[in-house]
Structure 1
Amino acid sequence: MSFLSFLLGEKKKTATVAKERLQIILAHERAGRNASEPDYLPALQRELVAVIGKYIAINPDDIRVNLERHDNLEVLEVKIELPDAR
C-alpha cells in the first residue's frame, strides 16, 4: 500500500476483503483447537452465499464448507456448485 493510498483511502476489492476475513477466522480457530466442530463454519457459509449471490443466482444449499483435521494438518474445503449457464 502506498503512502498516498493510505492517506486517501483505497477501496479494497471484495476478494481481498474475503481473503483477509478468512485468514482471521482461521487464525482464531487455530488458537482454540479444543472444539471438535468450529462454530464459525455456518457463518462463513452464509457470507459466501451473500458474496457469490451478488454476481450469480445461487441456491444456499449449493455451497458446502467443511473443516477436516488429519494429524497436524487442517484442511478447509469449500465446495460451490454453480448453475449451468444456459
Structure 2
Amino acid sequence: MSLLSLLLGEKKKTATVAKERLQIILAHERSGRGGTQPDYLPALQRELLAVISKYVRIDSNDLKVHFERQENLEVLEVKIELPEPGPAR
C-alpha cells in the first residue's frame, strides 16, 4: 500500500459498492415490512396464473400464493389446484 493511498484511502470497486448498497436496501426492506406481505405477491400470482393457463385451464381461485415469516425464515407457498383429467380422446 502506498503512502498516498494510505492518506487518501483506497477507492472501492464499483461492483463492491453496488453490492454493499443492495445488501443495505434489502435489509432495510425486510426490516421495514414487519409482518406484512411483500409488494410483489399480487404480480407473482397473476404471472403464475398466466403461465399455467397456457397449459391447463384453471380459474384464478385455483391458485393461491401465501407468504409467511418465521423468525429469520421467509416461506413462500404456492398452491395450485389442477382440474381432474378428462376422458382420453
TM-score tier after normalising by the smaller chain length: 0.5 to 0.7
Q: Between the two proteins, what is the percent identity of the paired residues? A: 60
* Structure 2 unaligned spans of 5+: 1-24
Partner of 2:80: 80
- Deviation of the 1:37 alpha carbon: 1.7
Runs of 4+ in 1 over 2 A off after TM superposition: none
Q: TM-score normalized by structure 2? A: 0.60
What is the CA–CA distance in structure 2 between the aligned matches of 1:64 and 1:39, rounded to whole Å?
16
Structure possessing the higher radius of gyration over alpha carbons: 2
Let me know the Cα RMSD of the aligned residues: 1.4
* Structure 1 unaligned spans of 5+: 1-29
Q: Counterparts of 1:1-86 in structure 2 under 5 Å?
A: 31=26, 32-33=29-30, 34-35=32-33, 36-86=36-86
- Deviation of the 1:39 alpha carbon: 1.3
What is the CA–CA distance in structure 1 between the aligned matches of 2:75 and 2:61, rounded to whole Å?
21
Matched AA of 1:62: D
- Deviation of the 1:38 alpha carbon: 1.1
